[in-house]
Amino acid sequence: MVKLERNKRKVKIYNVLIVISALVFAISAFFLIKYLWLDPKQNDELYEDLRNTYYSRENGEENLDELRKINEDIIGWIRIENTPVDYPVLKSESYLYKNYRGEYSRYGSIFTDNSTQLEKNPQNIILHGHHMNNGSMFASICEFANLTFYKSNPTFKFDTIYEKGKWKIISVFKTNTDPAHGEIFNYLISDFGEKKDNFLEYIYQVRMRSIIDIPVDVNEDDKIVTLSTCSYELNDFRTVVVARKVRGNESETVDTSQAKYNSKTLYPDGYYKKFGGSKPEVTSFKSALKEGKIDWYKRK
């Protein structure tokens, strides 16, 4: 009798474990489907609705004013051909985990760095976006480190409520935000002050770090936009794309046949520890210019 009771208890426990296992499996399956299919689908549909509004004019011309009726924090739109990047740009880092409706979203929005105040006409507009596993938001920014991909996409369109423009990429680099991987390069600078040399020094630094040697010149009066997203070569890495605005008197095209991989790319110290290689010599814009090592600067 005792043995029978024990067997019954074992059967009950076994049945309970089966039920618990089935529930855990069902819940896990639900969240997996939600994460891999439902959430991406919902996010895509959300932005597709906004694109229909943005490109709603009969001639297909963009309509930022209409978007600002939805949310006045929409201050621009960025579109990169051959990528999913076709999104509104929101004002401030408060949209890190919010969509353009102000609702929580792990996808967040494309948004301006808090240092970027568009109303003050900054020389560098800094934009952030998440690197999502399904390739959405700013994930495709990382693809610009590939020479073939860059050659197919040397420019992109970025408009704000203050100006419209095409932008030519001048640098694609990897950098650290964790001091454990070496000195942190501050690329999040919007205002360079009145000294033009400050801006040219910044351009020198981002070009020394560029994975690709890009045949696009820069001068002290140019405006640039910086696109930043998470990168996973090392903990808390970033992939950054810097582009300058197409000038009013120049062609929008780039002779990409002259582009090549940079044999002396400057990486953070931690990168060399993991992947090997050695640091190139880096001085300053003034020194490099004097020594004839800069071919991208066209004096005004």
pLDDT higher than 90, residue 2: no
DSSP for residue 140: G
Between 298 and 168, residue with greater pLDDT:
168
* Tens digits of residue pLDDT in 219-277: 999 999 999 999 999 999 999 999 999 999 899 999 999 999 999 999 999 999 999 99
Which whole-number Å values give the CA distances from 163 to 64, 100, 122, 160, 252, in the listed order?
A: 11, 21, 12, 5, 16
Between 76 and 8, residue with greater pLDDT:
76
Binned at pLDDT 50, 70 and 90, residue 34 comes out as very low
* Tens digits of residue pLDDT in 175-206: 999 999 999 999 999 999 888 899 999 999 99
pLDDT higher than 80, residue 89: yes
- Kindly report the CATH class assigned to 72-290: mainly beta
pLDDT at 32: 45
Q: For residue 97, give every residue at least 6 positions away whose Cβ sits within 8 Å of its Cβ, in sequence order, or none.
A: 104, 105, 106, 108
**CB of 83 closer than 8 Å to CB of 143:** yes
Return the bridge partners of 229, or none: 239
All structural domains of the chain with their residue ranges: 1-54, 72-290
Which whole-number Å values give the CA distances from 235 to 24, 53, 128, in the listed order?
A: 32, 39, 18
